[in-house]
Structure 1
Amino acid sequence: VTHYSIPEELKEGSVVANLANDLSVDVTSLIRRKMRVDIIANKKYLDVNKETGELYIAEKIDREHICTTKWTSSCYLKLEVTLENPLRIFNIELEILDMNDNAPQFRRDAIHLDLSESTSAGERFSLSNAVDPDVGSNSVSTYHLSESEHFNIEVQTGRDGSKFADLILKKALDREQQEMHNLILTAVDGGKPPRSGTVSIIVHVLDTNDNAPLFDKSIYNVKITENSPIGSLVIDLNATDLDEGSNSDLSYSYSLYTPEKTQETFYLNPSTGEITVKGMLNYEDFNIYDMEVIAADRGINSLSGQCTIKIQIEDMNDNHPEISIKSFQSPVSENIDVDTVIAVVSVSDKDSGNNGVVDLRIPNNMPFKLRESPDNFYKLVVSEPLDREKVPEYDITFTVTDRGSPPLSDNETMTLQLLDVNDNVPHFPQSFYTIRVMENNAPGALLSSLSAFDPDLHENQYLVYFILEKEIANTSMSMLFSINPENGNLYALKTFDYEMEKDFLFHIEARDSGSPPLSSNVTVHIIIVDQNDNAPVIVSPWRAHGSVVEEKIPRSTDKGSLVAKVIALDVDSVHNSRVTYQFLQVTDASLFSLDQYSGEIRTMRMFSYKDSRHQRLVVVAKDNGDPALSATVTIKLSTVETAVKAYSDMTEVPLEYDIFSDLNLYLVIGLGSVSFLLLITILVTIVLKCQKVKPSKAAPPCRNSVISERNSTIADSTLVSNDAYWYSLFLAETRKGKLVVRQPMPKGSRYIVSSIPRSTGMSETSDSAPSTLQV
Structure 2
Amino acid sequence: MEFKKRGIMWRKLRSWQVLLWWHHFFLLWSTIDGQTRYSIPEELKHGSVVGNLAKDLNLVVSELYRRKLRITSEAGKQYFSVDLGKGELVVTDRIDREDLCGQRPSCLLPLELVIDDPLQLHRVEIEIQDTNDNSPSFLNKEKVVKIAELVNPGARFPLESAHDPDVGTNSVRSYLISKNDNFKLTVKTHKDGRKIPELVLEKPLDREKQPVHNLILTAVDGGDPVRSGTSDITVIVLDNNDNAPQFERQVYEANVSEKATPGTEILHVKATDADEGLNGEIEYFFAEQTINLIFLLFDIDKSTGAVVVKGNLDHETTSLHRFDITAKDKGNPEMDGHCSVEIKILDVNDNIPEIIVMSLKTPVPEDSAIGTVIALISAKDPDAGDNGKVTLTISPKFPFNLNPSLSNHYSLVTNGPLDREKNDQYTVKITATDSGKPPLTSEKTILVALLDVNDNPPVFSQPSYSIYVKENNPPGKILCSVLATDHDTDENMKVSYSILDSKVQDVSVSSYVYINSDNGSIYSMHSYDYEKLKVFQIQVQAKDQGSPPLSSNATVHVFILDQNDNAPAVIYPSSAALGSLSHQRMPRSAKAGHLVTKVTAVDADSGHNAWISYRLAEATDASLFTVNLYTGEVRTKRAASEQDDSSQRLLIEIKDDGEPVQSATVTVSILLEDGLHEPILDLRQKVAEPSKKTGRITLYLILSLASVSVLSLVTFLILAVKCIRNSRSSGSCCMRRSDCDDYKNPNRNLQIQLNTDGPIKYVEVLGGDMLSQSQSFRSCMSPMSEYSDFTLIKPSSTTDFKEVISVLDASLPDSTWTFESQQVSRK
Using the size of structure 1 for normalisation, the TM-score is: 0.48
**Higher Cα radius of gyration:** 1
